[in-house]
Amino acid sequence: MTTIENVSSYTEVRSQQETYGSSDLGKDAFLQLLVTQLQNQDPLNPQKNEEFVAQLAQFSSVEQLSNANEALQSLYLAMSSMNNASMTQLLGKEVTAYGDTFHYDGAGPQTLEWESSGSAENVTLTITDSSGKVVYTDSLGNIDAGRGSVTWDGSSIEGTAAEGDYTFTVTAVGQSDVEIQTLISGEVDGMDFSSGSPVPSIEGVDIDLANIIDVRLGGADEAAEEEAEGDDTAVAARRDR
């Protein structure tokens, strides 16, 4: 009895076949399909007018949707470009935002801020490094409602904290009815557009635009403003002479 080997199944052969063209039916392909259908219709049983009009209406709808999609895409790109350009104005500005991560330069004090929904007792400050290891804890005692701050001198459980990114929490022990949100402040020195949306950063730490709660003039802006005011004063003095 003769055996036949290496016979591929229909499914295997089908999966190996290369597919050409696009699976999307655009307006040009739709029109070509309609013309081909008219050229090859049965002359003894031609297409009815109602069916032809219905297909033309479908073609018109496809064309309108395609044009609308292109217009919306252009509008989206234009608005994204304008939004990205406007966000660069944050560079050099001092901002405060909800967040818990900050960059420590390894020298000098670091101000840590929070916002509390109410007064609280037995409040604890905890600082962890980028690996999640606790490097510093401190009892803040009682705090009032609203914003508050404390200065961290950079000391840690093992001595002095090294330069790097740290995370801090401010918690009220046994008071679940009081919400304490940590804040980060600093000058915006970076803006990343790689994700399609602008992401500002403070000393390399990203912050969410939606979390920014106030914006102030940065050091360079204040110096420029003071210089402009000085020039105006000088000009006014010369005029008075």
Q: Number of C-alpha atoms within 13 angstroms, CB side, residue 3?
A: 2
Cα dihedral: 129, 133, 137, 142 (round 10): 80
pLDDT value of position 241? 59
What is the residue type of 68? Answer: A
Report the distance separating Cα 108 and Cα 123, nearest Å: 24
223: confidence class by pLDDT, cuts 50, 70, 90: low
- Tell me if the pTM is above 0.75: no
Q: Number of C-alpha atoms within 13 angstroms, CB side, residue 139?
A: 5
166: confidence class by pLDDT, cuts 50, 70, 90: very high
Cβ atoms 115, 147 nearer than 8 A: yes
Q: Which residues contact 36 (CB under 8 A, 6 or more apart)?
A: none
Report the distance separating Cα 197 and Cα 214, nearest Å: 20
pLDDT value of position 98? 97
What is the tens place of the pLDDT at every residue in 103-137? 999 988 999 999 999 999 999 999 999 999 999 99
What is the residue type of 9? Answer: S
* Percent of the chain residues topping a pLDDT of 70: 67
Q: Are strands 101-104 and 134-143 parallel, antiparallel or unpaired?
A: unpaired
